[in-house]
Amino acid sequence: MSSKTDRQVLELWQPVNHLKGKFNWEMYFSNITRHNAYLSISLKELRGNSLEINYDDPNKVCPPEYVVWAFRYTTEISHTEHLNVDWDLSGRKDPDALYFFKMRNSKFIINFYTLL
């Protein structure tokens, strides 16, 4: 049996000032750039608003692949995976803004790491 501290938690993140919409299909990738010094993911939504997410390290401590391990679409996650996670929806501030989830204690990352 797993303890509360090692359970997977889907944590909601919502950039309310940028992406508006009610459904995820209203948003799309406009650009993904992988460079040795950064990873940049650009998103747009149907109203023309955009958001750029940059993973970089200005202090040059480590390359981006040590920080960003993976990202997955919701269609890649099975419905049964959602049954065994806790949900933290406290990040939802605006019902008219699109939102994302990040996974704390991700079994996906743990399983990936064991393959290395």
Percentage above 70 pLDDT, the chain: 65
Q: Is pLDDT at 43 greater than 80 in this prediction?
A: yes
pLDDT confidence of 87, banded at 50, 70, 90?
Answer: confident
Beta-bridged to residue 34, according to DSSP, are 39
Q: What is the mean pLDDT of residues 71-90?
A: 68
Q: Is 115 helix (H, G, I), strand (E, B) or coil?
A: helix
Q: Is pLDDT at 66 greater than 70 in this prediction?
A: no
Q: Is pLDDT at 83 greater than 60 in this prediction?
A: yes
Q: Is pLDDT at 45 greater than 60 in this prediction?
A: yes
Going by the DSSP 8-state scheme, the letter that residue 61 receives in this structure is: S
Domain ranges in the chain?
6-115
Q: Is pLDDT at 114 greater than 70 in this prediction?
A: no
H/E run at residue 27 = strand 27-34
**Whole-number pLDDT of residue 55:** 76
